[in-house]
């Protein structure tokens, strides 16, 4: 093992993702303390243009696996190709973005390498011996834990987009490029077409009325009713992170610390517990109504009007009242 810091360069739609440039920035800061090279590892198809782009940044080395079977991200093939880069570089630290690709790839690689992985880091520090201190929110974000990986190498972390400062421009550093050959079988899954979602980004910050949906909403039928009611009262709907994490609502509607901060005239929280990270994004709302079956739920501590009850009973009553007045 050497002292190098290896960064996975994430490519989507033929473009290097911002998070990878941020990780390279973090890698440069770490290498300045521990020594070693800042190494970019890139995997994909037709990479020559992207490699030229990478050379314009303040990095030392680029390793690439360029293969037509790597045109689209597929876990198996990318894991095999990037593992080849890792075993060739033999780095002290590996960084990946905490994106859907990074979150898919990183645990698979850490299992293959038999090492630890700290996910979703917000701060990285290193000592002169190369021990990495990986800080991330813990216990519901109420405190930050600094995690070390003393027994195994390489040390691996994923870092959320937008946390680190991006790498600076190359000021005359010679960047070597090493191409590796990896036998990549024709993927077992064939991607026929990539369709980019062209949805509008919801502007919940501007809404005067928000119906905000939490895990307690229950099934899809209730979810649809809440969304329908939001339209009926000329508002829109937002949600807690639970609904984003389970893929039911898009992230642009998430309220809270890692979502958006809202201040509507009316915030109606349905089945939201009121975790501190959620309250941080909505407690300044003018009037808050909360529906929750648990009378001790924290959402009631900020609510102007609290309704203790089961959503399955309250929602039909709300619907009836709203329809009566709105239709």
Ligand X SMILES: Cc1cc2nc3c(=O)[nH]c(=O)nc-3n(C[C@H](O)[C@H](O)[C@H](O)COP(=O)(O)OP(=O)(O)OC[C@H]3O[C@@H](n4cnc5c(N)ncnc54)[C@H](O)[C@@H]3O)c2cc1C
The first and second tokens of residue 300, run together, are 């009631």
Contact call for residues 192 and 50 (beta carbons, < 8 A): no
Nearer to ligand X, 40 or 213 (CB): 213
Between residues 304 and 310, which has the closer beta carbon with respect to ligand X? 310
User: Count of alpha carbons within 13 Å of 141, Cβ hemisphere only?
Assistant: 12
| CB of 2 closer than 8 Å to CB of 92 | yes
CB nearer to ligand X: give 215 or 263.
215
Minimum distance between the CB of residue 303 and ligand X, rounded to whole angstroms? 12
Q: Which two tokens stand for residue 98?
A: 């905490």
For 105, residues 6+ apart whose C-beta sits below 8 A from its C-beta are 8, 75, 78, 79, 82, 96
The nearer residue to ligand X, 62 or 291, going by C-beta atoms, is 291
131 by DSSP, 3-state: which? coil
Q: What's the min distance (Å) between Cβ of 38 and ligand X?
A: 28
Site residues (vs ligand X, CB under 6 A): 137, 140-141, 214-216, 218, 240-242, 254-259, 271-273, 275, 277-278, 281, 291-294, 297, 310-312
Minimum CB separation of residue 296 from ligand X in Å reads: 9
Query: CA torsion 74→77→83→89, rounded to 10°?
Result: -100
Q: How far is the CB of 206 from ligand X (least distance, A)?
A: 18
For ligand X, give the closer residue by CB, 131 or 250: 250
Query: Of 56 and 142, which CB lies nearer to ligand X in the complex structure?
Result: 142
End-to-end CA distance of the chain: 70
Closest CB 210 distance from ligand X, rounded Å: 13
Q: Which helix (H) or strand (E) holds 63?
A: strand 61-66
- The distance of closest approach from Cβ of residue 262 to ligand X in the complex, given in angstroms and rounded to an integer, is 11
Return the closest-CA partner of residue 262 out of 241, 243, 247, 283: 283
Q: Cα(177)–Cα(75) distance, rounded to whole angstroms? A: 24
């Amino acid at each position: 093992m050497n002292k190098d810091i290896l960064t996975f360069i994430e490519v989507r739609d033929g473009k290097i993702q911002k998070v990878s440039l941020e990780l390279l920035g973090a890698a440069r800061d770490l290498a300045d303390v521990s020594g070693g090279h800042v190494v970019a590892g890139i995997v994909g198809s037709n990479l020559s243009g992207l490699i030229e782009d990478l050379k314009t940044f303040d990095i030392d080395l680029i390793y690439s696996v360029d293969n037509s079977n790597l045109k689209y991200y597929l876990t198996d093939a990318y894991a095999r190709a990037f593992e080849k880069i890792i075993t060739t570089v033999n780095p002290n630290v590996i960084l990946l973005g905490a994106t859907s690709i990074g979150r898919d790839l990183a645990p698979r690689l850490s299992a293959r390498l038999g090492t630890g992985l700290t996910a979703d880091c917000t701060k990285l520090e290193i000592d002169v011996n190369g021990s990495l201190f990986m800080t991330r929110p813990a216990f519901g974000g109420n405190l930050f834990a600094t995690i070390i990986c003393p027994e195994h190498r390489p040390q691996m972390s994923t870092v959320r987009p937008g946390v680190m400062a991006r790498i600076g421009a190359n000021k005359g550093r010679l960047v070597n490029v090493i191409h590796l050959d990896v036998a990549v079988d024709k993927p077992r899954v064939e991607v026929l077409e990539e369709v980019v979602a062209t949805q509008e980004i919801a502007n919940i910050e501007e809404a005067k009325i928000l119906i905000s949906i939490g895990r307690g909403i229950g099934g899809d039928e209730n979810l649809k009713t809440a969304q329908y009611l939001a339209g009926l009262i000329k508002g829109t709907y937002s949600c807690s992170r639970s609904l984003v994490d389970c893929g039911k609502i898009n992230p642009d509607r998430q309220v809270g610390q890692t979502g958006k901060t809202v201040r509507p005239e009316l915030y109606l929280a349905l089945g939201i517990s009121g975790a501190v990270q959620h309250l941080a994004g909505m407690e300044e709302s003018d009037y808050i109504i909360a529906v929750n079956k648990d009378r001790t739920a924290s959402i009631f501590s900020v609510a102007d009007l609290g309704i203790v009850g089961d959503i399955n009973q309250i929602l039909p009553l709300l619907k009836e009242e709203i329809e009566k007045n709105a239709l």
